[in-house]
Amino acid sequence: MIERIGKAARWSDAVVVNGLAFLAGHVAEETRGQSVEAQTREVLAQLDDTLAQAGSSKAKLVSVTIYLADIAGFDAMNQAWDDWVDSENPPARATVEARLAHPDYAVEMTAIAAV
């Protein structure tokens, strides 16, 4: 069975199948004037919410991919990440610089978690 969470016309916020939750790219809703760290904290809160809806949590993250509009924001992103991540269960992680869908986005994250 496939469960779709937060289904919209073009994507779902998460798709749960075979014991895994695949989370779509999450970006901050409040972007204007927000620092990379502030946007990261908002994205991480969204991940918490979507993981909970999928029956999972950050302790069950398997993999996270982080996209930064400017890699110079790496340290600021890590400030928020380090406060949030379950240090007993850190996921595999990749961070890349990428042009994001809107110029106000500083960070976007996708994730895979066990459910």
pLDDT at residue number 75: 98
28-74 confidence digits (pLDDT tens):
998 888 999 999 999 999 999 999 999 999 999 999 999 999 999 99
Computed over every residue of the chain, the mean pLDDT equals 97
In the chain, where do the E strands start and end? 3-5, 14-17, 20-27, 61-68, 92-97, 107-114
Domain 3-114 sits in CATH at 3.30.1330.40
Mean pLDDT of 17-38: 95
Going across the sheet that includes 20-27, the strands are 3-5, 14-17, 20-27, 107-114, 61-68, 92-97
pLDDT for 32: 85
Domain boundaries along the sequence of the chain: 3-114
- pLDDT grade, residue 91 (50/70/90)? very high
Q: Is the pLDDT of residue 5 over 90?
A: yes
